[in-house]
Chain A
Amino acid sequence: KAGVTQTPRYLIKTRGQQVTLSCSPISGHRSVSWYQQTPGQGLQFLFEYFSETQRNKGNFPGRFSGRQFSNSRSEMNVSTLELGDSALYLCASSLSGPTPYEQYFGPGTRLTVT
């Protein structure tokens, strides 16, 4: 079965721009979680979606938003990019939620903001 895919894999943007990242979960998985990974802050939870509804949100500003479609694919958007948004953005899918179920991670999108 195909794994979690994320597009694009690499992205370079300028401060002030906005960006949309996409995540396609494993077929049959209804939960998608997003994480930001940086050397300084480590892995931080952004939000989790299940059946098109956001169930949990991490401690990030409103510039970070997301959505999930009826086919469980998810997108996250970051508006008014800042240098500190440079990070590896990971999405993960699971059957019904990140706990107590195994999460399958995609390869990530590496975003560089200049």
Chain B
Amino acid sequence: SQQGEEDPQALSIQEGENATMNCSYKTSINNLQWYRQNSGRGLVHLILIRSNEREKHSGRLRVTLDTSKKSSSLLITASRAADTASYFCATDSQGAQKLVFGQGTRLTINP
């Protein structure tokens, strides 16, 4: 079963615009991670945010975490065509040494 659920399932925007994806989860977590996957290839780690952090930045990425609402958001600013990919959140399932992934958001950046 999926711990995280992403919203929206698909997002299409123009190059240069900002993209926001949301992730909700069900149980308490120690940390939440975001990954990117290009067209059926392996995943690439983007950012990890711990449960005691509220916001984290990495380049054009900004991640927020609200543990009271069990939700996280990923913001990509000034989007580029190369950002076209699927984005997944992953949670650590109550501290167990495994990650549980959401269904992902498919992001398309139009030139």
Alpha-carbon distance between A33 and B42 when the two chains are bound, in angstroms: 13
Which residue of chain A has the shortest Cβ distance to B6 in the bound complex?
A42
Report whether A100 and B30 are in contact in the complex, using a CB–CB cutoff of 8 Å.
Answer: yes
Alpha-carbon distance between A4 and B43 when the two chains are bound, in angstroms: 11
Report whether B43 and A56 are in contact in the complex, using a CB–CB cutoff of 8 Å.
Answer: no
Alpha-carbon distance between A44 and B40 when the two chains are bound, in angstroms: 15
Known: A42-B104, A43-B88. A98 touches B98 (CB 8 A): yes
Q: Does B13 contact A (CB under 8 A)?
A: no
Report whether B41 and A33 are in contact in the complex, using a CB–CB cutoff of 8 Å.
Answer: no
Alpha-carbon distance between A33 and B30 when the two chains are bound, in angstroms: 19
Which B positions have Cβ atoms within 8 angstroms of A?
A: 1-2, 30-31, 33, 35, 40-45, 48, 50, 88, 92, 95-104
List 5 tightest A-B contacts by C-beta distance, closest first.
A105-B42, A99-B92, A43-B101, A102-B45, A105-B43
